[in-house]
Amino acid sequence: MTDIEKILEIKKEMGEDLLILAHHYQSDDIVKTADLVGDSLKLAQYAQQNKRAKYIVFCGVYFMSETADILTEDWQKVLQPAIIAGCPMADMADMEQAEKAWDIVTEELGCEIVPITYVNSKAEVKAFCGKRGGTTVTSGNAAKVVEWGLKQNKVILFLPDQNLGRNTAYDLGIDIDHMAEYDPKTEKLEYSCDKKDVKIVLWKGFCHVHHKIDMKHIEDARKAHPDAKIIVHPECRFEIAQAADGKGSTEYLIAQVKNGEKGSKWIVGTEHNLVKRLKDTYTDKSVYILDTSSVCTNMNKTTVSNLLETLEDIQKGNFEKQVIVDKEIAKDALKSLETMLSLA
């Protein structure tokens, strides 16, 4: 029996007690064995809605499993096959830094703040937002959530991804000059407008996979395939998002290719596993990757072998790979996630 066959066998034995969730950036083998596949928003919703599975095995990165743990019941266990798979961007902000930023921004701008954190963040940062009337956001609902923040007539503190914050706020009509930047390392707030005109403070975090896509990739792609449409994830830098023909969450990128006309050409700026799957799935269209080095090594830490090991561990009553968020943190983080899910 192959490892995949063994996984399928265990799934049959465990039935509804087991739910395997996988992010779109996972490899084909993992996606094939998963019960549900989605972007961060969908996966959070799937975890919240499932009230049957005793064990939720999350094929993704740590912040996603933490979110699932926060959104599920106490009797449900969330396990992550590659327990060491984190997200370098989520690690760019912690509670202590966020509290410091809150004090600095409040003092310098003399304003009220509403904090909004990308779900790609630590549970403690979500708790920081929950405690202060803020919320979480994903790339799939960014416009709705940032609009909600802007309507409060407070300055948004958007963390940790400056690119998602900048791209979204710009689309909602906020001038680039009215966006400040906050560097958690130097604890400096920078802006070029009058302080009363600052609408959003962007934490200087980024996803290295998307942030490294540059104008040369766009120029080369346009030259190689002049009749193709370039679409990118909003974690890409502002100039890339502007130069592309479209931008949006993972689900948006999939929908564009899926619904594109037969024979259409697509150049996609995001993680390579997803782009490869789009290419293999929609063979009536041509799909290319914008930057061949777009590989998230953390997403790729989940393998068929550590997934099988996790399932076998569950059957033996070994929960070493369980992700558990501290109860106090979870309580406040839940507030921020619930606000987002009510807006989504």
Please, what is the Cα angle at 52 between 255 and 19, to 5 degrees?
50
240 near ligand SF4, rule: CB under 6 A: no
Nearest-approach distance from CB 143 to ligand SF4, in angstroms: 19
> Which range, of 48-56, 94-102, 134-142, 312-320, touches ligand 13P by CB under 6 A?
134-142
Q: How many CB atoms lie within 10 A of CB 112?
A: 11
Compare residues 120 and 339 and give the one whose CB is closer to ligand SF4: 120
Q: Number of H helices and number of E strands within the chain?
A: 15, 14
Residues 106-125 that bind ligand 13P (CB under 6 A): 120
207 near ligand 13P, rule: CB under 6 A: yes
> Which range, of 12-20, 97-105, 138-146, 330-338, touches ligand 13P by CB under 6 A?
138-146
Q: Tell me which of 39, 271, 291, 332 binds ligand SF4, using CB under 6 A.
A: 271
Q: Tell me which of 26, 80, 97, 120 binds ligand SF4, using CB under 6 A.
A: 120
Among the listed residues 117, 168, 140, the one whose alpha carbon sits nearest the alpha carbon of residue 40: 140
Among the listed residues 310, 308, 167, 177, the one whose alpha carbon sits nearest the alpha carbon of residue 247: 167
278 near ligand 13P, rule: CB under 6 A: no
Among the listed residues 211, 208, 216, the one whose alpha carbon sits nearest the alpha carbon of residue 232: 211
Q: Tell me which of 66, 69, 124, 235 binds ligand 13P, using CB under 6 A.
A: 235
CB 55 within 8 A of CB 69: no
- Rounded CA gap, 4 and 27, in Å? 13
256 near ligand 13P, rule: CB under 6 A: no
| Pairing of β 179-183 and β 188-190 | antiparallel
Cα dihedral 82, 84, 90, 94 sign: positive
Q: Tell me which of 50, 163, 249, 273 binds ligand 13P, using CB under 6 A.
A: 249
- Residues near ligand 13P (CB under 6 A): 39-40, 120, 138-140, 207, 235, 249-250
Q: Which residues bind ligand SF4 (CB under 6 A)?
A: 61, 87-89, 120, 207, 209, 271, 296, 298-299
